[in-house]
């Protein structure tokens, strides 16, 4: 299972990368705005800064919602750095753009996926990744994990090689449930990744080992 971090915060990206378990990064326009990154050139520079930290796929989202605009922006993003994956919204114009990029061997991440039908369509268009938003489904009383399981079944039935990138992950149980189902990738905040390491018995056990060592080595 590949681990991506879902942020545009360079400090957090570096901290996750330093753990040695980071495979990639996802961003979106809201995450860029949260870091105060505005203006086309600053946004492109920020993607480059992320690519310099992480040697893996970095999703960069197009803003256009029409086919021609998505192609224009997507080609510019893809030319920026070999790590860039063009993130395209799950709309019909987006499906056409994914098909176009797929024929050109430009990697895509189809974002804002909330149903199995959308995931099927994106895979048929040749998306490299699809991003079902678990947390946002949970927010509206719909089981996001069940959607991941449904998409896994469909993709396995037809051997689609589109990777399921479980997104909008909010906590460590989301990550564990995604791993049980066989999501190919998960993207989440640094807090959820770090929380996987925590267990009170580990802390207690370590405390005891160190205390016993200290007793015997005065």
Shortest reach from residue 158's CB to ligand E4P, in Å: 24
Of 173, 179, 178, 180, nearest in space to 195 by CA: 173
Residue in 87, 99, 124, 198 annotated catalytic: 87
We find the least distance from the C-beta atom of residue 109 to ligand E4P, in angstroms, to be 7
User: Shortest Cβ distance from residue 187 to ligand E4P (Å)?
Assistant: 5
Residue 28 contacts residue 111 (beta carbons within 8 Å): yes
Cβ closer to ligand E4P: 6 or 73? 6
d(CA 155, CA 158): 6
Between the alpha carbon of residue 115 and those of residues 22, 86, 122, 192, the distances in Å are 27, 21, 11, 24
Dihedral of alpha carbons 65, 48, 28, 160, sign: positive
How near is the Cβ of 111 to ligand E4P at its closest, in Å?
A: 6
Contact footprint for ligand E4P (CB under 6 A): 6, 26, 28, 111, 131, 133, 135-136, 167-168, 187
Cα distance between residue 148 and residue 114, in whole Å = 10
Half-sphere exposure of 85 (CA within 13 A, CB side): 25
Nearer to ligand E4P, 176 or 204 (CB): 176
Q: What is the length of the chain?
A: 218
Structural tokens at position 99? 């098909």
Residue 87 annotated among the catalytic residues of the structure: yes
* Residue number, 173 or 210, with CB nearest to ligand E4P: 173
Of the two residues 136 and 152, which places its CB atom closer to ligand E4P in the complex?
136
Active site residues: 87
């Amino acid at each position: 299972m590949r681990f991506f971090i879902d942020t545009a915060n360079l400090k957090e990206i570096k901290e996750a990368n330093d753990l040695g378990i980071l495979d990639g990064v996802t961003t979106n326009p809201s995450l860029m705005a949260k870091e105060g990154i505005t203006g086309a050139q600053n946004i492109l520079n920020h993607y480059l800064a992320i690519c310099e930290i992480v040697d893996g796929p970095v999703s960069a989202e197009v803003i256009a919602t029409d086919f021609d605009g998505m192609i224009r922006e997507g080609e510019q993003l893809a030319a920026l750095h070999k790590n860039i994956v063009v993130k395209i919204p799950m709309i019909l114009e987006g499906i056409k753009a994914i098909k176009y990029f797929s024929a050109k061997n430009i990697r895509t991440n189809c974002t804002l996926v909330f149903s199995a039908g959308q995931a099927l369509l994106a895979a048929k268009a040749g998306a490299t990744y699809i991003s079902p938003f678990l947390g946002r489904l949970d927010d509206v009383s719909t089981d996001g994990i069940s959607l991941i399981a449904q998409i896994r079944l469909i993709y396995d039935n037809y051997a689609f090689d589109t990777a399921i990138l479980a997104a909008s992950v909010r906590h460590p149980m989301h990550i564990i449930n995604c791993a049980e189902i066989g999501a190919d990738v998960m993207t989440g905040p640094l807090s959820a990744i770090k929380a996987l390491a925590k267990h009170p018995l580990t802390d207690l056990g370590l405390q005891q080992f160190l205390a016993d060592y200290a007793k015997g080595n005065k």
